[in-house]
Amino acid sequence: MSNGTTTLAVAFEKAAYPLGGHGKRNADVLKEAFREIEGSLVSDMYGKGSVIEDFQQQMAEQLGMESAVFFPSGTMAQQIALRIWSDEAGIRRVAYHPLCHLEIHEEDGLKELHHIECVLLADANRLITLADIKDMQDEISCLLLELPQREIGGELPSFDELAAISAYCRSNQIKLHLDGARLFEITPYYQKSASEICALFDSVYVSFYKGIGGIAGAILAGSSSFTEKSKVWKRRHGGDLISLYPYIVSSNYYFQKRIRKMTQYYDGAKELAMLFNQCTKAVTKPGMPQSNMFHVHFGVSKAVLEPILIGIYEATGVGLIHALRELGEKSCYCEISIGDRYAEAPLAQVKAAMQMLDQQLSNVDNVE
Amino acid sequence: MSNGTTTLAVAFEKAAYPLGGHGKRNADVLKEAFREIEGSLVSDMYGKGSVIEDFQQQMAEQLGMESAVFFPSGTMAQQIALRIWSDEAGIRRVAYHPLCHLEIHEEDGLKELHHIECVLLADANRLITLADIKDMQDEISCLLLELPQREIGGELPSFDELAAISAYCRSNQIKLHLDGARLFEITPYYQKSASEICALFDSVYVSFYKGIGGIAGAILAGSSSFTEKSKVWKRRHGGDLISLYPYIVSSNYYFQKRIRKMTQYYDGAKELAMLFNQCTKAVTKPGMPQSNMFHVHFGVSKAVLEPILIGIYEATGVGLIHALRELGEKSCYCEISIGDRYAEAPLAQVKAAMQMLDQQLSNVDNVE
């Protein structure tokens, strides 16, 4: 009956209360951001003009970095950061986690376009530690840390570990780059400001369409000499568009709208994870979320779980999960990111949906 | 008195009738494009979804090519086209005009990212001819032709010459790529459809913010196997954004609005060029425009001409020129592209401004 992810995603979006995310990704996201914008607002022109320069300045201050550049994508921004550090050191080798975005989602752009070699640190299922870095045999120009480590559920090192990694890199001429696609989302866990976290890094990328919920776009920040070089590479990549204002205006709008809600999202993630952990055959990773995101692993196959979930969405009006990914024959997992929507769902209804899930998962052996 | 280009540009935009372009590049361009768009229109997602796929299909049909891919920029699209052809041929060398966009406006992205060597054909001040191509000593994978050749005023080869170049390339295993940033703008001169022109090429790039007047964005078209490869490279470049719809919706809107006005723009360019050629010390390149664009060369310095122009804009309300570039000590030039605005200016006022320009240029020797 089920037609895979598509059907589950459709049922999720049709539910009265889909629990993850901020809302539908549609033209209303743009229209809302531009509703109060004067039509006379002058476009940026190839990286110049107040609409881009003011936002860059604001983000540099937010991140506590000297300078910031707006990019159409994190893929572009991060490859460029690693290229600049590699050129400066004269070492075409960097290190990152085996499930780093650059390693698994970018068609090997870093290797194919920049000819930069990558050392994969740590096992795929755990965080990079200071010991991993100390044990590394290869000489590298830059270490990239992703906070939180998305593909293992959004785990974070302790702040002390982070500070020790930063100190080690500084004393060993290794540049430290932050993949901060979800940087704002980790500030409640660390109880640190974005700039306190960024102070440990030489360069930082942040995204505006995860917790911030904009349309697309990224900021790359660092010293002025670093960001000036990044502008040259941005043009080379084809990212120095005549007009980026559709993304900049919406990034700014949703930043203002949501930056103070990161604790709300974090608390929602912890509450929802606890409910999942009370279900038979379900366990969250991490056990307690460290940001607004977490994974849920299920001890049943995707093929079995999907129709169960669709039935629950229809019966309770609560959309629990948007998409499932297979993990071997008898297990699957999902990623959940909490945004504005979670607070709209009545907790009693969420709990009712979870109890139904618990019951049905308990019966799975009889069904299979 | 004059503060260079900025002051002239400001005076131009303040004029009641600025003659070039479609209008101001501001947020109204986006707001107009989205006015009739339903907020429920679903965003594209990393190159998928009807908003991007429908537009790509429509443009493939318009260009008479098998397939088309939307890109955030032409810089990205064209480097990728040349990379694909170079990889296929196993020859990392292409040929283009010395004033090709890739050579002078892209910070050497093609060389720095793709390690592709370039043969510069023809002199900087004239078009590439079939003879240039036949005389070439180097083996190349691809020849890029820009139609019209913007940096020399928008010149075009005859259609017969173009057909002969195409035939020669096909029989010599040289791929022919069209830099068609202004492709739609040349259809009135050739009296050919876009698809009749594209039929001579293996791959084609078109832009949506020149004659079409959108916000940003480009289409790259060719065979399906070519465009599938281009999608992989688009991701590598960081151009496979989660959402490109702000550019796609606006490209589609302004395409529909302006595609039938290319003859109007072309006729306007011819009329205005004729008026410039009646001025002392002014000559257009080409003498008769072959698209909606042309250059005007002046036998006086930029420093002398700018205050004259500003005075004329203030006296007549007609903005003739947006920006001047120096050409040695006693000459300068400008680029003019005709769009919607030209038709709004009463011809009598345009002629009055031109007569004033003629008079003042005649007096320049006394002034200098």
**Contact at CB, B236 and A76, closer than 8 angstroms:** no
B313 and B170 within one domain: no
The C-alpha atoms of residue B184 and residue B349 are separated, in whole angstroms, by: 29
A30 → closest Cβ in B26, B34, B40: B34
CA distance A304 to chain B (A): 27
Q: List strand residue ranges (DSSP E) for A245-354, in order.
A: 282-285, 293-298, 318-319, 325-326, 332-337
CA-based max dimension of chain B: 65
**pLDDT over 70, % of chain B:** 98
Contact (CB<8Å) B31/A28: no
Residues A231 and A320 in one domain: no
Q: Is A355 left (phi over 0), alpha (psi -120 to 50) or beta?
A: alpha
**In angstroms, what separates the C-alpha of B244 from chain A's closest C-alpha?**
8
Q: How far is CA B162 from CA A203, B90, B174, B176, B199, in A?
A: 49, 26, 14, 11, 11
- Looking at the structure, tell me whether residues B76 and B219 fall in a common domain: yes
If asked whether residues A59 and A156 sit together in one domain, one would say yes
DSSP symbols for B196-242: HHHTT-SEEEEESSSSS--SS-EEEEE-HHHHHHHHHHHHHHT---S
State the Cα–Cα distance between residues A351 and A190, nearest whole angstrom: 29
Cis (ω within 30 of 0) for the bond into B18? no
Mind telling me how many Å the CA of B216 is from chain A's nearest CA?
6
Looking at the fold, whether A120 and A219 belong to one and the same domain comes out as yes
Residue A40: list chain B partners with CB under 8 A. 24, 26-28
DSSP per residue over B238-301, as a string? T---S--HHHHHHHHHHHHHHGGGHHHHHHHHHHHHHHHHTSTTEEEESSS-SSSEEEEEESS-
DSSP SS3 for A214 = coil
Answer for the pair A28, B246: CB distance below 8 angstroms, yes or no: no
Contact between A39 and B27 using a beta-carbon 8 Å cutoff: yes
Q: Which of A10, A14, A24, A26 to mutate to test the interface with B (most CBs of B within 10 A)?
A: A26
Confidence of residue A328 (pLDDT cuts 50, 70, 90): confident
For chain B, how far is it from start to end, CA to CA, in angstroms?
15
Question: Do B241 and A34 lie within an 8 Å CB cutoff?
Answer: no
Burial state string for B212-246 with b = 16 or more CB within 10 A and e = fewer than 16: bbbbbbbbbbbeeebbebbbbbbbbbbbbbbbbbb
Per-residue confidence at B366, pLDDT binned at 50, 70, 90? low
- The answer to whether residue B171 sits within a structural domain is yes
In a domain, B59, yes or no: yes
Q: Residue B119 pairs with which residues in a beta bridge? A: B95
Q: Retrieve residue B129's tokens.
A: 């001819």
Quick one: B326 and B232 in the same domain? no
Mutate to test the interface with A, among B241, B249, B251, B253 (most CBs of A within 10 A): B241
Based on the domain organization, do A132 and A279 belong to the same domain?
no
CB pair distance less than 8 Å for A241 and B106: no
Return left, alpha or beta for B238; rule: phi > 0 is left, psi -120 to 50 is alpha, else beta: left
Cβ–Cβ under 8 Å, residues A114 and A82:
yes
**Over the stretch B184-195, which tens digit does the pLDDT of each residue have?**
999 999 999 999
Q: How far apart are CA B76 and CA B220, in angstroms?
A: 10
Instruction: Indicate if B119 and B219 belong to the same structural domain.
Output: yes
**What's the rounded Cα separation, in Å, for the pair A109 and A84?**
15
Give me Rg for the CA atoms of chain A: 21
Q: Measured between beta carbons, which residues in chain B are less than 8 angstroms from residue A236?
A: 106-109, 112-113
CATH number, domain at A184? 3.40.640.10
CA distance A316 to B331: 76
Taking residues B7-18, what's their average pLDDT?
96
The reply to whether residue B73 touches residue A37, judged by beta carbons under 8 angstroms, is: no
- Per the structure, the complete domain to which residue A236 belongs is given by 44-242
Residue A365, pLDDT above cutoff 80: no
pLDDT digits (tens, 9 = 90+) for B135-176: 999 999 999 999 999 999 999 999 999 999 999 999 999 999
State whether A188 and A85 are in the same domain: yes
Asked if B239 and A72 come within 8 Å (Cβ–Cβ), the reply is yes
Cβ pair A216:B112 closer than 8 A: no
Cα of B27 to nearest chain A Cα, Å: 5
pLDDT the model gives residue B364: 87
Average pLDDT, stretch B264-290? 98
The per-residue DSSP string of A69-114 comes to EEES-HHHHHHHHHHHHHHHHT--EEEE-TT-HHHHSSTTHHHHHH
Residue A59's pLDDT is 98
Chain segment B28-76, per-residue pLDDT in tens = 999 999 999 999 999 999 999 999 999 999 999 999 999 999 999 999 9
Distance between A219 CA and the closest CA of chain B, angstroms: 13
Which residues on chain A are in Cβ contact (under 8 Å) with B106? 235-236, 238
Bridge partners (DSSP) listed for residue B69: B220
Q: Which of A213, A242, A271 is the last residue of a domain?
A: A242
Using alpha carbons, list the distances in angstroms from residue A185 to A155, A275, A337: 12, 21, 10
Contact B243, B51 (CB under 8 A): no
Nearest to A238 among B29, B40, B79 (CB): B79
H or E stretch at A144: strand A142-146
Residue with token string 């044990």:
A135
* DSSP designation for B26: B
* A344-352: Cβ within 8 A, 24+ apart: A344/A17, A345/A17, A345/A19, A345/A318, A346/A17, A347/A271, A349/A17, A349/A316, A349/A317, A349/A318, A350/A17, A350/A19, A350/A272, A350/A275, A350/A318, A351/A275, A352/A316, A352/A318
Domain boundary among B181, B212, B242: B242
The pLDDT, as a whole number, for residue B6 is: 63
Contact A45 B25 (CB under 8 A): yes
Lowest mean pLDDT among A36-45, B2-11, B152-161, B306-315: B2-11
User: What mean pLDDT comes out for the span B232-242?
Assistant: 98
Q: Confirm whether B152 is domain-assigned.
A: yes
**Nearest-angstrom CA–CA distance, A179 and A79:** 11
Q: How far apart are CA B125 and CA B122, in angstroms?
A: 8
Query: Cα Rg for chain B, rounded, in angstroms?
Result: 21
Cα–Cα distances (Å) from A28 to A19, A214, B30, B315, in that order, read: 19, 11, 13, 45
> Residue B13: inside a domain, yes or no?
yes
Tens of pLDDT, residue by residue over A270-305, are 999 999 999 999 999 999 999 999 999 999 999 999
- d(Cα B197, Cα B156) in Å, to the nearest integer? 12
Q: Give the pair of three-digit tokens for residue A224.
A: 């002025």
Q: Do B39 and A26 touch (CB under 8 A)?
A: yes
Note whether residue A295 is domain-resident: yes
Q: How confident is the model at residue A4 (pLDDT cuts 50, 70, 90)?
A: very low
Question: What is the length of chain B?
Answer: 368
Residue B250 lies in a domain: no
CA B340, B344, B347, B351 dihedral sign is: negative
Residues A332 and A234 reside in one and the same domain = no
Give A307's pLDDT tier (boundaries 50, 70, 90): very high
DSSP summary character for residue B94: E
Query: Same domain, yes or no, for A13 and A49?
Result: no
What is the total count of domains within chain B? Answer: 2
Nearest residue of chain B to residue A35 (CA atoms): B31
Whether A35 maps to a domain, the answer reads no
CB contact (8 A) between residue B108 and residue A243? no
Domain containing residue B328: CATH number: 3.90.1150.10
Which run of H or E residues covers position B6? helix B5-14
* Claim to verify: residue B136 and residue B235 sit in the same structural domain: yes
- Do B215 and A43 make contact, defined as CB atoms within 8 angstroms? yes
Q: State both tokens at A361.
A: 């998962």
Average the pLDDT over B109-131 and give the result: 97
**Best mutation target, A75, A106, A179, A241, to test chain B (most B CBs within 10 A):** A241
| C-alpha closest to that of A289 among A271, A312, A308, A264 | A271
**Which residue, among A237, A244, A248, A252, would best test binding to B if mutated, counting the most B CBs under 10 Å from its CB?**
A237
Q: Where would I find the beta strands (DSSP E) of chain B?
A: 17-18, 67-71, 93-96, 117-120, 142-146, 175-180, 203-207, 218-222, 282-285, 293-298, 318-319, 325-326, 332-337
- List, in order, residues 6 or more apart from B244 with CB less than 8 Å away: A216, B44, B52, B70, B72, B217
Secondary structure class of A204 (helix, strand, coil): strand
Q: Which of B37, B114, B209 sits opposite A27 (nearest CB)?
A: B37
Looking at residue A281, its amino acid is K
Report d(CA A63, CA A208) in Å as an integer: 14
> What pLDDT sits at residue A335?
98
pLDDT of residue A1: 41
- What's the Cα-to-Cα distance from A257 to each of A220, A253, A254, B264, rounded to whole Å? 21, 6, 5, 45
**Can you tell me the mean pLDDT for B71-99?**
98
Locate A13 and state its tokens: 């979006």
Q: DSSP secondary-structure letter at A244?
A: -
pLDDT digits (tens, 9 = 90+) for B208-227: 999 999 999 999 999 999 99
Q: Which amino acid is at A71?
A: F
d(CA A78, CA A71): 10
The overall longest dimension of chain A from CA atoms, in Å, is 65
SS3 B88: helix
Residue A97 lies in a domain: yes
Shortest alpha-carbon distance between residue A3 and chain B (Å): 17
| Separation CA B78–CA A227 (nearest Å) | 25
Mutate to test the interface with A, among B5, B26, B110 (most CBs of A within 10 A): B26
Span B303-323, mean pLDDT? Answer: 97
